[in-house]
Amino acid sequence: MRRPLVNGKLTLPRAEARPRRVRHLRAHLPLYLMVLPALASVLVFNYAPLFGLVIAFQDFSPFRGVLGSDFVGWQNFQDAFRNPFFVNALKNSLIISGLKLAVGFPAAIVLALLLNEVRARWIKVTVQTATILPFFISWVVAGAMFRSLLAPDGAVNELRAGLGLTPHAFLSDPSAFRLVLVLQDTWKYAGYFAVLYLAAMAAIDRATYEAAEIDGASRWQQMRYVTLPGISNTMVTLLVILIGYLVSAGFEQVYVMYNVSVYSTADILETFTLRLGLQQSNYGLATAVGLFQGAISLLLVGAANLIARRVRGQGLF
Amino acid sequence: MTLRAWERRLTPGQVLVRVGLGLIFLVTAYPFVYVFSLAVMPYENFVRQSAHFLPSGFTLTYFGQVLSDPRLAHAFGISALKTVVGTVLSVVATVAAGWALSRPELRYGRLLTALFIVPLFVGGGLIPYFLVIRATGLLNTFGALVVPGLVASFNLLVVRSYFQSYPQAVLDAATVDGASAWTTFWRVVWPTSTPIIATVALLSGVGHWNEYFWPSLLVQSDLSPAQVVLQNLAVGRSFLSQINATGAQAAPESLIAAVAAIMVIPVLIVYPFLQRFVVSGILIGSVKE
């Protein structure tokens, strides 16, 4: 390293004299600078909104800001619970995500089991490729696809016509709309979750299967008593995470697909919050609903994790 | 029994498995087939025939109309720019931070990592997030399309756990050769970490290309990416009638399908890479948990 000349004299290295903290920082400054952009991003876009949650307890006015608005205690929460549209949205969120869990969770396991059992490699590769693809398609495109499939003159109604049934307007029928959401969600995510299960299956020791075969276990019994227990950790992990999402019914999907005629069964907490906050400028109430949703979500994850630990002796955290 | 013979042997169980997978394949792939069918089928045939599960006739009229419409071309351009710029920024920020956080020399590394984990579980929700973005002055700027999603905590944690097993011998060799921390990162670590960089780039790229809700809220129509325009087309909130006024027969389904198909094509092109890297990415993320 070149030493700088000060007043024509060679300066001595002063590192020894400097405090250790400064020396450390000097030596490793690049590492801290590497974290900086990500840190700034997370502080501004993740933590600042957390402090913005204060709005939930305010009669928030955009002109007076977070610091200038009046505090109203739990008023916004009380207003929310008295609002019939909030109660409807909460109910819909729970029903929609409950149905998604009930259909989508086993569907991914069945898909993974089938892929694991099939002997022809080309079938496995083809089906796996096709089933992961929807995961990478935007909800807007998925929405456009399903809207044309389910249109009065779309493929599904043509199929119904071929079977002698009358056309059905699935997307404006409140009782059919949830089913559409559930099936579309399963279509989009089953292949993705199946990848996780297949990875767990690949990690099962081949010797276990050989031992089962020697004991006379059929393919079916091997699946039941070797494969399924082998993926039970992955199942529990995903279940705990998915239970945490029970109050989040899939905002972008619903937002892209729904319309006024199905608000009664499809309006969820996020869509309700959005209309309340950004269209009616009722920021305080909308933030209170968001905070309520986040708190329930955390409670659910915690509870699911606790149950998983009690039942299996091992949770996610 | 050879492997191929074993693969071909059809027990009743194998037949059942194949039938099941065949049905799943049909149901999963059909929406893609249908959207491309609608986009290339002459609209007259769509209206005239009672059943059209597959295209009858072939025309590129609708693709032509969509691509030659200046507003749609502009929207595709915005999407492409958002995807390229957003992905480059995200990848550099994520990989650099992931590397630094994986280094034991970094003091408070655990605390910093925890800072990135917390947002996976708690968030401010829609309204505070919107208000923060408005306060940053990003509203109605191109920055609103690329800056807010700069670092996804999940990706960062995957990168960090990947780098935790980076061979120390390589780093020692670089240090002996007199490489600074910067040089080590850019000249040694970055070029040897293609799998993880590709994973993050593909996830981030697809995310940017597919993003709809926030762009629809944060920028005016002159900065709207194609997903926003497609959604507006599909729910009839836009200039579809004006496209038709340019002389074409009213063919809303065909035009919407053509836009949707164009949105899918880039994903289909990167998909082979995507599948390989993302499957490995998912596994890096889950195994180290």
* pLDDT of B50 above 80: no
Is the per-residue pLDDT at B242 higher than 70? no
Query: What's the pLDDT tens digit per position in A211-259?
Result: 999 999 998 899 999 999 999 988 988 898 889 889 989 999 999 999 8
| Residue to test with chain A: of B82, B83, B111, B126, most A Cβ within 10 A | B126
Q: What is the nearest CA distance from A34 to chain B, expressed in angstroms?
A: 5
Confidence of residue B41 (pLDDT cuts 50, 70, 90): confident
Q: What is the mean pLDDT of residues B3-31?
A: 88
| CB within 8 Å: B282 and A199 | yes
Residue to mutate among B30, B48, B111, B127, with most A CBs inside 10 A, is B127
State whether A251 and B213 contact (CB < 8 Å). Answer: yes
CA angle A54/A57/A60 to nearest 5° reads 80
The nearest alpha carbon in chain B to A257 belongs to B235
- DSSP 8-state symbol, A261: G
Interior CA angle at A104 toward A102 and A105, to 5°? 75
A–B CB contacts, 8 A cutoff, strictly below: 276
User: Among B142, B139, B126, which residue's Cα sits nearest to residue B83?
Assistant: B142
Percentage of chain A exceeding pLDDT 70? 93
- Tell me what pLDDT residue A2 has: 46
How high is the pLDDT of residue A18? 65
pLDDT digits (tens, 9 = 90+) for A144-189: 999 999 988 889 998 998 899 998 999 999 999 999 999 999 999 9
Reply yes or no on whether the pLDDT at B208 is more than 60. yes
Tokens of B276: 């390989």
Instruction: Pick left, alpha or beta for residue B247 (phi over 0 → left; psi -120 to 50 → alpha; otherwise beta).
Output: left
pLDDT tens for A99-114 read: 999 999 999 999 999 9
Would you state the structure tokens that stand for residue A270, as one six-digit string? 């996020």
Q: What is the mean pLDDT of chain B?
A: 86
Shortest distance between the Cα of B60 and any Cα of chain A, in A, equals 19
The per-residue pLDDT for A11 is 52
Nearest CB among B13, B132, B263 relative to A44 is that of B132
> Alpha helix locations (H) across chain B?
3-8, 12-40, 43-48, 61-68, 70-102, 109-117, 126-135, 143-146, 153-163, 168-176, 181-183, 194-210, 213-218, 226-234, 240-245, 252-287
Q: Residue A10: helix, strand or coil by DSSP?
A: strand
Pick from B71, B69, B75, B70: nearest CA to B219: B75
Range with the poorest average pLDDT among B9-18, B79-88, B201-210: B9-18
pLDDT at A263 over 70: yes
Report the alpha-carbon distance of residue B214 to residue A139 in Å, rounded. Answer: 13
